[in-house]
Amino acid sequence: MMQSAFNDNGHWFKGNYHSHTTLSDGSLTPEEQIGLYRSHGYDFLAITDHNLMTSRRSWGDRNFLLLPAWERDISYVDKVKCIHVIGLFSDETEEECSFRREKGDRNTMTAQQLLDQMRGEDRNVFISIAHPTWSRMEISELLELKNFDAIEVFNTGTECLCHEGHAEYVWDTLLRHGRHTLAVACDDTHGHTKQDDHFGGWIMVNAPSLSRHDILENIRGGNYYSTMGPRIIDWGLDGDEVYIKCSEADEVHFITWPARGKANFDRNTTEMRYTLKGGEKYVRVEIIDSEGKRAWTNPIYF
């Protein structure tokens, strides 16, 4: 019997959960940023200016949703290492509020204290570790941290900046250690690179409606996939097989542990199956199209 990994709510919504404006270190005003995403077919956006939370629902309307969010960070003394964290607040956040926090100081605040403080701001906040590769975070550091929901598997901004936008290995290492961690693809738009850092990665959320409650609830529940362009139509379990249906892909990869999964290189593939070997702790699927663009499912755990 086929069991989809998605909780089908009837609608798919496209959004970027990580962006910056002139309110911190972005190159576009909030109005310009919102207008750009609207004109490119996005349904929702989170403006995550550094250490500044703005919940301005009035910036959106019934056809374009603004999520209350921010990015907080701690810089290390040598200014090479850092930790940046994204927080998406719940639908209970006031419609028109704004507040700041000071930039974290490594001498007075640990990474765990930052995560705990962000979680304490809102019990339903969704917390993601931003661009761990660019931040020079060690695997051991991430494994010590608790109280976060996801990591960025792909970040357009840091990929444009210095080819350090991917974090698949970091994600898999967390999963192998039993950390149930979601992944997110995003833009992290600053506009300070020669290559445009818009529209490189986003999430597709399956939700009943374009409301803060429904979008945030399904992000927290992992009812979405991350992509640079390819579509994941459905995926899940059919007995002892994992199946996926997608837009045309030249590569379909079933990633598992400790049993090794399988890589398929059949061009123009739209459906593929993988028979479980037994003993897998998790499985996730990654597809790559003819242009090298990727899409990632969240994991199924066993």
Grouping H, G, I as helix, E, B as strand and the rest as coil, residue 276 is: coil
| 50, 206, 281 from 104: Cα distances, Å | 11, 34, 36
The tokens describing 31, both together, are 């109005």
Q: Give me the residue label for tokens 């009943």.
A: 208
Contact 270, 289 (CB under 8 A): no
Give counts: helices (H), strands (E), the chain: 6, 22
Grouping H, G, I as helix, E, B as strand and the rest as coil, residue 198 is: coil
Q: Alpha-carbon torsion 265, 268, 274, 280, what sign?
A: positive
Q: Where residue 99 falls among pLDDT bands split at 50, 70, 90?
A: low
Closest C-alpha to 227, from 295, 132, 286: 295
For the segment(s) 232-301, the CATH number from 2.30.29, 1.20.990, 2.60.40, 1.25.40 is: 2.60.40
Contact 16, 47 (CB under 8 A): no
pTM of the model as a whole: 0.95
Residue 131, C-beta contacts closer than 8 angstroms, at least 6 positions apart: 84, 152, 155, 157, 158, 164, 165, 167, 188
**What is the residue extent of each domain of the chain?**
8-227, 232-301
How far apart are alpha carbons 139 and 168 in whole angstroms? 12
Tens of pLDDT, residue by residue over 195-254, are: 899 999 999 999 999 999 999 999 999 999 999 999 999 999 999 999 999 999 999 999
| Residue 120: per-residue pLDDT | 82
Find the farthest-apart pair of alpha carbons in the chain and give their distance in angstroms, rounded: 55
Residue 163, C-beta contacts closer than 8 angstroms, at least 6 positions apart: none
The tokens describing 210, both together, are 């374009």
Provide φ and ψ at 161, rounded to 5°.
-70, -45
Tens of pLDDT, residue by residue over 109-151, are: 899 999 999 888 667 899 999 999 999 999 999 999 999 999 9
Q: Based on C-alpha coordinates, what's the Rg of the chain? A: 19
Tens of pLDDT, residue by residue over 140-185, are: 999 999 999 999 999 999 999 999 999 999 999 999 999 999 999 9
Contact 289, 247 (CB under 8 A): yes
User: What is the CATH architecture of 8-227?
Assistant: Alpha-Beta Barrel (3.20)
| Percentage of the chain exceeding pLDDT 70 | 96
Contact 19, 50 (CB under 8 A): no
Q: How many residues appear in the chain?
A: 302
CA 203 from chain center: how many Å? Answer: 7
